[in-house]
Structure 1
Amino acid sequence: MDTGGRGEPATAAGGGFVPGVGEMRRWHYRLMLAALTPWLVVDALRRHRRAPAGHRRRFEQFGRLRDGLPDGGVWLHAVSLGEVRAAASLVRVLRERWPTVPVVVSTTTETGAGAARALGVPHFYAPYDLALVQRRVLRRLRPRLVLIMETELWPNLVRESRRAGVPLVIANARLSDRSWRRYRRWGGKLLGEVLADIDLICAQSATDRDRFERLGAPRAEDCGNLKFDLALPGVPDDLPADRARTWLAASTHPGEEEQVLDAHRLARERSPGARLILVPRHPERADEVIRLVEKRGLSVVRWRPDGSADAEVEVVDRAGVLAGLFAEVPVVFMGGSLVSTGGHNPIEPAVVGRAVMHGPHVSNFRAVFSALEARRASLGVADARELGERVAWAFARPTEWAGYGQRAREVIAEHRGATERVVKRIAQWLDRG
């Protein structure tokens, strides 16, 4: 189920629901997946070739799990990098509270796989949502609990878990405005059946809880957003000398980079020497973005982790580096918000004391942005011109802008606790036996 704002989309089989299917029944869904199976074989081979050499596992998406994966524990599914990071605090507490209950993480994308391995937990690539495949994985893992991050509704996994007597919980669940409209209109009978088979939905906010209930979920609660529980590192005292007049455009999308570059040109006019680090949401678009910068007549280089380069724009062509950049760059613009993507999560920069500037399209994380805006801990802009003006203002008034960042960090601290609320609710299944 596409809930909006995801960085690397899952395959059609991985995402469960297909928007716009109307009154799809379960047998329709299974027939559709059967028709897609040849393509899924090709997709599995493609993913096998792209995986790092030491982590290639042929046809794992069809349930051929490697030897050595522990069973009898928690199967936690997190699609990609963002979901794994959101689950980090949950994984840590699960391992502390139930040290004899193993946690096994599945992901759909390779960036998610890398993040899972960095957590030090066993990992496998998530199975396609074919009934026989899900049944095979459940028999192999024999989990006490299936825990799915952020509303990946897989009809066959939900049904097979119910049949096997394995409780299934959705953690950090949310419905973007777009998904809410789509599923109200098109959810149909299949959506109702899936929601009815889920043991508990731990929603990110009261709004998300209410939306799930109105769609027919019998057991939904407001547990808060797990991303507020990201570890709070120390706020860097001093910026690198070459970053004092650098700003970061994080997770940008097609049609947005042009606006960011227009803003950068204006910022340089008002604050000579200003530099930009541009991070496309999808790293594979880096070449395209570099060409776009060159057409604008700006000097450009690929970002290097070993230090800054003497260019007006640096373009990042890899995943997993934003956390470090948030800590070392004073001015952050969060992408996906000058185009109608719905925005991206501002929590990660806030935990290191960085407020974000953002455009008007933030519906994917409306509750988070509302909390920040209520405390003057983020700054909205209407268009590229206003973005450029605000960036130049932040360079000219660094102390005032740093105050926005301090308030953002305070907002994060005030909203922590979702991990404990989720753990309290799932303890009923993990305390058994």
Structure 2
Amino acid sequence: MIALLYNILQLILLIIFWPLIFAFVVFKPKYRKRIPARLGFPLPTRTVRKKGPTFWVHALSVGETTSAVPLVKGLRKHYPESRIVVSVSTESGEALAKTLLATTADEIFSSPLDILPVLSRFVLQIQPDVYILVETDFWPNILSVFRRKKIPTLLVNGRISEKSLADYKKFSFFFTPMFRCFSHLVMQSETDRLNILKLNIDQDKLHTLGNLKMDAHINIATDDMKFSKLLPENKRIIVAGSTHPGEEEVIFSAYSSLKTHYPDTYLVLAPRKPERAEEILALGAEQNLCGVRRSEKLSEFGDYFLLDTIGELADAYRHGAISFVGGTLVAEGGHNPIEPASMGIPVLFGPHMEDFAEVASNLIHSGGAVSVANHSELESTLRELMSDSTKREQMGLAAKACIDSQKGVIKQHIDLIQTVL
């Protein structure tokens, strides 16, 4: 009944607002480029069906694509004759997928809109044996289509914060039927599993197998110039990754103060949205910091390096002495601390690590990470680590050991996937 009402409402809204939607798509380059593909113009290539199964892996954006990479590579290794297609909702996520999975996936394409005729064309074209959704991006029609066609569907790397749980419970009439469409729901942590259990989901469908990013391999830079050549020599590098508005000002302030005591310090700042580059350069200029952009030809190093590209943050972490994970000094839920920790460098983050709560807690308790509440704590912690190379090394080793102890996640996922084929 909910699916029927959803489609009736969708049809009514499309009829009423189609002129506005059409104009919006035509005059917005971002949508003008992607909407035709998401409607199936063109459809993914109908490749020759291989001997093995066809896996359709879907990711919402950059973060989910990063999570999907080790799983897709694991599927390719275990099912070398399989056909693997990857759909991504956002332009930046699709660009990252094409960078990291170009030689692994058979096809990477824009995900279809949740409109029944559109979905039917995609499913008929792809003919998947299994649909794997990474982390989030739940839509009623696509899940109900797979359920009717008896195509197994898995949610992997699932997470559900207290805030999300409250929303899901409030609109349980809408979300619970969607979650029940999944053959299996694979959650990152036991807390996530217990949270989703509160939505009256069959517990036999629920599994806790850890975070896919635990098994992620380090991706080297794809540029012709080695990434190390972009950074000054003999500098201790602080890498601030996936930052959000409200954080850059704090980071620049702490960095400016730090440089007066430790002139061999150098900052690499990677905003979550590279299109904010001009805004961030202006913020740096307010504190007399001149930044250089990765996307432009470099003639000098400047006071800091602005990484305004997609897919190179891991390379920056590899050259770092200390890392700061963004989306944590502001209420954004936090971003991935696994990547810098696996590089063997100390990890700092703010109090808002809701989306990676268990990983963050483990890193703190292992001695590999520190949570800083504000500008003052960030600056004092950076000073302490800059002045004590032994502590930096010990924290880095602890962080890496914490991540290494939790590897093997991909094998557990592959074992589960085998049961639905």
Q: TM-score range, shorter-chain basis?
A: 0.7 to 0.9
Give the SS at the match of 1:59: helix
Structure 1 residues 262, 288: closer, same or farther in 2, change over 3 A?
same
Give the SS at the match of 2:324: strand
Deviation string 1:203-252 (CA, Å, 9 cap, x unpaired) is: 11111111111112222111111110112689xxx997636333121111
Within the alignment, does 1:107 sit opposite 2:88 as a pair? yes
Contact 2:135–2:155 (8 Å) recurs in 1: yes
When normalised by structure 2's length, the TM-score is 0.87
Q: Which residue is equivalent to 1:324?
A: 315
Structure 1 residues 384, 187: closer, same or farther in 2, change over 3 A?
same
Q: Greater RCO between the two (CA within 8 Å, min separation 6)?
A: 1
Give the letter aligned to residue 417 of structure 1. G
Give the letter aligned to residue 228 of structure 1. M
Measure how far apart 1:101 and its partner are: 2.2
Measure how far apart 1:287 and its partner are: 0.5
Give the letter aligned to residue 124 of structure 2. R
Within the alignment, does 1:365 sit opposite 2:356 as a pair? yes
Q: Which residue is equivalent to 2:365?
A: 374
Measure how far apart 1:125 and its partner are: 0.7
Structure 1 residues 109, 70: closer, same or farther in 2, change over 3 A?
farther
Contact 1:62–1:127 (8 Å) recurs in 2: yes
Of 337-346 and 83-92, deviating more is: 83-92
Give the SS at the match of 2:233: helix
Residue of structure 2 aligned with 1:62, choices 35, 39, 54:
39
Deviation string 1:392-421 (CA, Å, 9 cap, x unpaired) is: 222221232122111111111111122111
Q: Which residue is equivalent to 2:78?
A: 97
Within the alignment, does 1:168 sit opposite 2:153 as a pair? yes
In 1, the alpha carbon distance for the partners of 2:270 and 2:234 equals 16
In 2, the alpha carbon distance for the partners of 1:69 and 1:86 equals 25
Q: Which residue is equivalent to 1:261?
A: 252
Contact 1:233–1:352 (8 Å) recurs in 2: no
Measure how far apart 1:33 and its partner are: 3.5
In 1, the alpha carbon distance for the partners of 2:185 and 2:28 equals 31
Give the letter aligned to residue 213 of structure 1. L
Alignment of 1:258-337 (within 5 A): 258-303=249-294, 309-337=300-328
In 1, the alpha carbon distance for the partners of 2:324 and 2:420 equals 42
Residue of structure 1 aligned with 2:172, choices 167, 177, 188:
188
Structure 1 residues 401, 109: closer, same or farther in 2, change over 3 A?
same
For structure 1, list consecutive stretches of 5 or more residues without a partner in the other structure. Answer: 1-23
In 2, the alpha carbon distance for the partners of 1:43 and 1:70 equals 37
Q: Which residue is equivalent to 1:409?
A: 400
Q: Which residue is equivalent to 1:250?
A: 241
Contact 1:172–1:226 (8 Å) recurs in 2: yes
Q: Which residue is equivalent to 1:124?
A: 109
Give the letter aligned to residue 114 of structure 2. D
In 1, the alpha carbon distance for the partners of 2:153 and 2:21 equals 25
Structure 1 residues 382, 179: closer, same or farther in 2, change over 3 A?
same
Identical pairs, percent: 30
Measure how far apart 1:92 and its partner are: 2.0
Residue of structure 1 aligned with 2:217, choices 220, 227, 231:
231
Of 405-414 and 299-308, deviating more is: 299-308
Q: Which residue is equivalent to 2:123?
A: 138
Q: Which residue is equivalent to 2:57?
A: 76
Give the SS at the match of 1:215: coil
In 1, the alpha carbon distance for the partners of 2:86 and 2:93 equals 10
Give the SS at the match of 1:88: helix
Give the letter aligned to residue 189 of structure 1. F
Contact 2:348–2:372 (8 Å) recurs in 1: yes
